[in-house]
């Protein structure tokens, strides 16, 4: 009889433990959401927030300076037998705001080519504050005859940029790897790809 009573007690204890574990697991999601909202270290289930009909509740980017607007002009120097141009010639952006612009390229030759782009900035002081998160200028590309490509440039202008700068021109010179490198706008002469500083190629 004593053994049966002990068994009942043990079963009761195990039942309480199971119920407690179930309740804890059920409460984990709201607890996790609360922690994320308080600490701001994560955005839970971003995909759920983008479901049609869902109410977006993404935190605002407090680093964006909405009191300033900078005109960014996009230029492309197509120095060769190809077509190269930005999808947009100009954009109005706020410092600290993530912005993306597309560049379009087509190899109009009847042969495969490898190419890369060199960026330059005007005024020159803007270069240190023009932060590219994604850019086709980071890599070399091989394009088949007649092949078309679209490449994004994602950038953020540092809010520390002088307030005197109201317009920035981002210009790309696209050149064929292995040949003479055309001078970027504002430079005196062309240099070979081998002579070009690595920092400039990867900027």
Of the ranges 37-41, 131-135, 146-150, which one carries the lowest mean pLDDT score?
A: 37-41
Tens digit of each residue's pLDDT (9 = 90 or more) over 78-106: 667 788 889 999 999 999 999 999 999 88
Tokens 């540092």, located at residue: 158
**Which parts of the chain are beta strand (E)?**
70-78, 82-86, 90-93, 99-107, 113-122, 130-134, 141-143, 148-157, 167-176, 180-181, 191-192
User: Residue 63's pLDDT band (boundaries 50, 70, 90)?
Assistant: confident
pLDDT of 34 > 70? The answer is no
Average pLDDT over every residue of 7-23: 70
Would you say the pTM of this structure is higher than 0.85? no
User: Residue 13's pLDDT band (boundaries 50, 70, 90)?
Assistant: confident
Average pLDDT over every residue of 44-52: 43
Q: What DSSP string describes 23-48? A: HHHHHHHHHHHHHHHHH----TTHHH
């Amino acid at each position: 009889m004593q053994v049966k009573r002990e068994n009942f007690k043990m079963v009761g204890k195990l039942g309480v433990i199971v119920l407690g574990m179930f309740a804890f697991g059920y409460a984990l999601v709201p607890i996790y959401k609360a922690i994320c909202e308080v600490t701001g270290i994560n955005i839970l289930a971003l995909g759920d927030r983008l479901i049609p009909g869902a109410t977006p509740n993404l935190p605002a980017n407090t680093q964006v300076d909405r009191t300033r607007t900078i005109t960014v002009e996009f230029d492309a120097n197509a120095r060769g037998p190809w077509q190269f141009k930005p999808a947009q010639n100009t954009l109005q952006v706020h410092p600290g705001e993530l912005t993306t612009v597309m560049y379009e390229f087509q190899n109009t030759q009847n042969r495969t080519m490898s190419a890369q782009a060199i960026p330059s900035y005007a005024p020159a002081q803007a270069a240190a504050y023009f932060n590219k998160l994604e850019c086709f200028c980071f890599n070399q590309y091989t394009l088949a005859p007649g092949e078309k490509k679209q490449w994004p440039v994602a950038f953020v202008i540092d809010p520390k940029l002088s307030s005197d700068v109201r317009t920035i021109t981002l210009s790309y010179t696209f050149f064929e790897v292995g040949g003479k490198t055309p001078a970027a706008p504002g430079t005196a002469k062309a240099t070979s790809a081998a002579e070009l500083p690595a920092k400039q190629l990867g900027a």
